Chain A
Amino acid sequence: MRTILFDMMRVSALSFAVAATMAFHAPSAQAQQTPAITAPATSYAISDGRTPGGIRLVHILLKDEKDQSFSMAWRDRLIQHTPEKAGLLQLAPALVAAGGAGALDAGALEEELKDIGGYFSLSRGRTAAFGDVAAPRAQFEATLKLLRSALTEPRLPAITLERRKRFLLNGRKANREKAESLAREAMTLALTGDHPVAATVSLTPVTLVSSVTIADVDAWRKAILARSNLTVVSAGPLTREAASELVDSTFGDLPERDSDKEGIAFVRAPVLARTIVIESPVAQSAILAGGSVLWGGSGAEGVSRGLAMSVLGGGARSRLFIAVREKLGAAYGASAGISPILGRDGIFSMEAAVANDKVGVALAAMRSEYALLRDKGVTADEIDPIKRRMTSGFPESMRRSSSASSLIRGAIQNGLPFDAPDRQIGWINAQTADGINTMVRERLPEKLMVIIVAPTAEGLGADCVIKSLDELKTCLAP
C-alpha cells in the first residue's frame, strides 16, 4: 500500500516547490544587496544576500538542528537547447561527485564521508545542476573540504564512466520492458514532441550516451560548476556569517561562467484525443490517460494544483482510488498528478496498473471520474481535510536542515521569493473549492490522450495499435 499512501509532508513539499524544471531566476536586485535582507515578519528567519566573495546565499537558521546543510543550484539551461548533451548531463554530475577526488579514490572518499557522517551529491535538472551537502555541525567543514576537492580536482575515472554509460543504457532498455514505465515514456514523448527535453527521456540515439568522454565531463564541470551562476541555500545551526565564510571557502575558487544561453521555449501542442495501445505480453496492463497542461507547481498555483490532484488521485480517499480499486477491484492503486516539463508546463496524467481483463472497465471509470472533475469540480468537504494535512505537514518539512534547504532552493528556482516558506500556510488557507474549480476547468485538458500497454488491443477501442515505442510516431500523425 506504500505507493498509494498519502504522505502529508510530501504533498506540502511538492505543492510548494515541484521538481527542478522551472526557470531558474537570477538573484533579484534585492538579493544582490549586502548586507543580507531579512524577510519581514518571518517565522523562519530566512535571509537573502551575497557573501563577501559575491556568491548568492539564502540562509535559514535552525538553531536546534544538529545537522547543517547546503543546497546548491548552478543555473544551466544546456538541456533546453542542446539535446545532444542529454547523455552527458545524466552522467557528468554523479561522476564528478562520486568518482573520487584528490588523493582519495571513489571508495576511499565514500568511506571518509562515512567516518565523519557527512554526505554530498550532485545531480542535474532541466534548468540547473544541483548539489546537496550535509553533515553533523561539527563535521560540516570537513565534509565541505571533501566536496571542494571533488569540484576542483575530481578523479573522473574512465572505467567508472564506461560502467555508468552501460548501466544507463541498460536501464533505459529495461524501462521499456515494463508496462508502467513504457506507458510513461510514450506519453512524455508524445507530448514533448521535438523539444530538446524529449532527448532526456528517450536518450535516443544511444550515441547520446555512448559517445560521452571524460573530456566532455570535465568540460561540463568547468563550464557549469562555476561561482557566478551559483546559489547556495544554507539551513541549520550555522549563523549567516559562518555560513558565508564556508560558502566562500568552498566555492570561492570556482571559475566565472560564461552567460547562459536561453533555452528553446516549450510549445504546448493540442492534446490528441487518441487511444494508443502498445501490445506487449505483460502480466498486468498499464493505463495512462492525460495531456499537457500549464499549471505550475509552486506558490498559490501549486497549492491549488496539489489539492485538485489529491482529490482526483492522491490516496485512499481519492476518486480514482475509490473508482478503480474499491469499486472494481481492478488495481492495487490508481493515482493522478502533474509531472513537469519546463517552467509551468507539465504533463497531467491518471495512472493505474490493472488486471489484463479489466482494462476496459478501469479506463471507463477513470474517464468518468475525470469528466466529473471537469464538470462538477471539487467540494469544500474534499479539500478542507487536505488543507489541514498540508498546513500540519509543511512545518514538519521545514524542521530539518536538509529538507528545509532543498525546499527553499526549489522555491527560488520556481520563481518564488526567498521567504516563500513564510507564505506557504497563507497560500494553503486561501484556497477555495470555487477557485480550484476555475483552475480545473481552465487548465486541465478537455480531451485525453490514452496510452495502454496490454497483451492485446482487442476490445479497447484503440485508435492506433503498435508493438513498440519506435512506432509511436505513426500514432501521432494529425
Chain B
Amino acid sequence: MAVSNERDATSSSVATEGANAAPDPMAKLLAKLLKDPQFRPMRHKFQRLMLMHTLFGCFLLAAASVTVQAQEKLVTDRVFYIHAPKSTSVQFQMIVLAGSADETNMAQLGIAHYLEHVVLVGRNEGQAETAFKFFADGSSNGWTNARATGYIHRFPANAPDLTDRLDRLFKFYTERLTDFAITEADATRERNVVRQEHDWRYASNPFDAVWQEVTRYSYAGHPFENWTIGTPQTIGAFTVEEARTFLRRWYRKANVYFIVTGPLAPEQVKASAEKFLAALDAAQPPIRTWPTLRLAVKPETRVFSKQDKRITTPSVSLSSVVSTFEADPVRQAAVVAVINGFLSSKLSGSPHSALVEGDSPVAAALNGASLWRNVPGTLALSLGAIPEEGRTLDEVRKALVAYREAFLKRGIDAPTLERLKKRYARDLQRGLEEPENAPQRLINWLTMPFPHDALKEWPATIASVRLDEIEATLKALASGQRDAVVIFEPNAE
C-alpha cells in the first residue's frame, strides 16, 4: 500500500523496487548514504534517477542490432502472461491505468491511494479474508502513483491448489472491477492507517514538506502539483463514497491489465482469466484529461529554504521545469534517457566531474542530477549538491547555475554518446535474460502511458537517438524555465 509520487522523496516507487540494473560501487555507496535521513533530498533525486534507470536502464540505449524478444504474451484480452521457468513463485498483478492525477477535477486529494487500501482490506460478501492476507504462504501489496494503481500477490509455484488460487485472484479482481464492500469501521480505521503512512513517510522528516511546496510551484495548474497521498486535511476527509466513485470511473476491464508471471502454462492463465473476465462490461473509461493538458510555464525563479535542527548537512538543489513541443513522446523519452545516462555518470563533463572533482571543487557530493519527462510536453532538470567544506551555499548555487548553462550549450559529444549506448545495450541484454524483470518493464511502459506495440521498438529508438536531438532538447531546456532553488540548512545553533 505504498504511494509513489512522481516527485516524492520517499516514493518507494514500484519502478525503484524492481530495479535490476548492474550495480556499481559508487551507486552502492550512495544507496547506503541515502538510507541516512540526512540525505533525504539526495534520496529524492536519486530515486527519481533510479526510476529512470529502471524504466529505461535495463531497457535503454540498446544498439540497433539488439532485438527485444518480448517476454510478455497477451494470452487473452487485458491479460499478459510471462513465462519464468526457473522461478519458484507465481506473481499476479492487476494494474489500473488511473492514479491520483485522475481523481475528480484532477484534485489529487489522495482518494486513489485510499481506494487501494480499501480494496485490499475490504471484504465483499462471501469473502472470509481480506485480499491483503489472501494466501498464508504468500504476500500481497499495493501501490499508487499519479498515473496508476497496482496490486500484487505472490505465492509458491508448487502450491497444489495453484489453479484454484489463480481463479480466486481473477474472481476477486473481477468483482472489484464492479464494486467493493467495506464496513464503516474498517474504512475509518484504514483512513487512520493512511494518515499514519503519511506521517511515517513524509511528516517525520524536515525535507518533504518543502519538496511538496516545490512541486506545487513547479507544476502549478496541473494535477501533478500535489502528491499522491494527499495532506492530513484531505486524508481526514476521505469518504468511502469518494473511493467508490473513483472505482466506478476507472476500475474497468478496458482500463486494467493483468500480468501473471511464473513457471506456469499459458493455457492455465488464459483459462482462469477468461472464466471470470469474459462477462465484464467492455465499456471504455472516460478520456483522461491530464495527458493532454499542457503546463503553462513562465520564466521565473523562487527560492525555498528550510532551517531545521534535524538537518545536519546543508544542500542546494536547482530544479527547472520547461514546456516543450513533443512530436513523438516515445522518442522524447529516449532522448531524455540518453541525457540521464550522462547526468548520472562521472564521465568528463558530467555534473560530478565538474562540481565534485578537480583541484578546487565546490561540492563535496552531488545531491542528484537528472532529467525527467514527468508530464507530457514538459521536462524537468534537477541538479543538487552538498557544499565542500569551506564553501557557501551561495557559491554552490552559482556553480549549479553555471554548470547548467554550460551543459545546455555544450551537450554530449559523439564518443560519449556511443559509450553510453554500448554500455546500455549490454544492460538491456542482461535485463532481457531475466523474465522476472519483464513485469516491471511492462508496467513502467504501459503506465507512462505508452502503447505496448512501441515497446519492442524501444531499443531501435534509443539506438537511433542523434546528437542533434539531444541538442534540441537541451536548447528547449535553456528557454523559459520555471526554476526552484531549494536550500536546506542546519539550525544556526
- Chain A interface (Cβ within 8 Å of chain B)? 1-2, 5-8, 66, 94, 97-98, 105-111, 113-115, 117, 119-121, 134, 136, 159, 162-163, 166-167, 170-171, 173-175, 177-179, 181, 282-284, 315-317, 325-326, 328-332, 353-355, 384-386, 388-389, 391-393, 395-396, 399
Contacts and interface: CB of A to CB of B under 8 A. Distances in A.
A110 B25 contact: yes
Contacts of A121: 25, 28-29
Contact of A393 (B89, B142, B423): B89
Counting from the closest, the 3 A-B pairs by CB-CB distance are A385-B136, A107-B346, A392-B156
Pick the most buried of A5, A66, A175, A392: most chain B CB atoms within 10 A of its CB.
A392
Pick the most buried of B2, B188, B200: most chain A CB atoms within 10 A of its CB.
B200
Pick the most buried of B17, B28, B419: most chain A CB atoms within 10 A of its CB.
B28
Interface in B171-213: 188-193, 195-197, 199-200, 203-205
Contact of B2 (A1, A114, A120, A331): A1
B158 interface: yes
Contact of B346 (A8, A110, A134, A388): A110
Contacts of A354: 196
20 contacts: A2-B2, A107-B346, A109-B25, A114-B345, A115-B422, A119-B23, A120-B25, A134-B23, A171-B312, A284-B196, A284-B199, A284-B204, A316-B140, A317-B136, A326-B189, A353-B196, A353-B199, A353-B200, A389-B138, A395-B88
B138 to A, nearest CB: 7
A175 B17 CA distance: 24
Contact of B310 (A113, A178, A384): A178
Interface in B314-351: 345-347
B427 interface: yes
Contact of B37 (A98, A166, A175, A283): A175
Contacts of B204: 178-179, 282-284, 353
B132 A389 contact: no
B482 interface: no
Interface residues of B, number: 74
Interface of B: 1-2, 12, 17, 22-26, 28-29, 33, 36-39, 86-89, 121, 132-133, 135-143, 154, 156-159, 188-193, 195-197, 199-200, 203-205, 309-313, 345-347, 352-353, 357, 361, 364-365, 388-389, 419, 422-423, 426-427, 430, 433
A23 to B, nearest CB: 25
Contacts of B203: 283-284
B353 A392 contact: no
Nearest to B40: A174
Nearest to B185: A329
A355 B195 contact: yes
A317 B89 contact: no
A171 B36 contact: yes
Contacts of A167: 33, 36, 38, 313, 364-365
Pick the most buried of B154, B190, B203: most chain A CB atoms within 10 A of its CB.
B154
Nearest to B154: A8
A121 B423 CA distance: 20
A316 B2 contact: no
A1 B312 contact: no
A7 B26 contact: no
Given A171-B39, A283-B203, A328-B189, 7 more contacts: A111-B345, A115-B419, A163-B364, A167-B365, A329-B193, A332-B193, A389-B137
A353 to B, nearest CB: 5
Contacts of A6: 139
A177 B310 contact: yes
A49 to B, nearest CB: 29
Contact of B139 (A94, A163, A315, A399): A315
Contacts of B28: 119, 121
Contact of A113 (B25, B205, B353, B433): B25
A329 B37 contact: no
A2 B141 contact: yes
Contacts of B86: 399
Contacts of B430: 66, 117, 136
Given A105-B357, A389-B156, A317 B133 contact: yes
A118 B222 CA distance: 42
Nearest to B424: A114
A393 B137 CA distance: 10
Contacts of A163: 364-365, 388-389
B88 A393 contact: yes
A66 B139 contact: no
Given A111-B346, A171-B36, A395-B88, A119 B24 contact: yes
Nearest to B16: A2
A454 B364 CA distance: 34
Nearest to A136: B430
Given A111-B346, A117-B427, A393-B88, A174 B25 contact: no
A94 B133 CA distance: 41
B231 to A, nearest CB: 13
Nearest to A392: B156
B137 A392 contact: yes
A389 B438 CA distance: 23
B25 A98 contact: yes
B137 A332 contact: no
Contact of B88 (A136, A171, A353, A392): A392
A255 B211 CA distance: 51
B89 A392 contact: yes
Pick the most buried of B37, B157, B188, B422: most chain A CB atoms within 10 A of its CB.
B37
A114 B24 contact: yes
A119 B25 contact: yes
Contact of B433 (A66, A331, A395): A66
A171 B25 CA distance: 20
A331 B196 contact: yes
B24 A107 contact: no
Contacts of A355: 192, 195-196, 199
A117 B22 contact: yes
B137 A385 contact: yes
Nearest to B313: A170
Given A110-B346, A355-B192, A1 B142 contact: yes
Given A170-B38, A317-B133, A94 B196 contact: no
A171 B139 contact: no
Contacts of B433: 66
Contacts of B365: 163, 167
A428 to B, nearest CB: 12
Given A1-B1, A163-B365, A330-B196, A171 B33 contact: yes
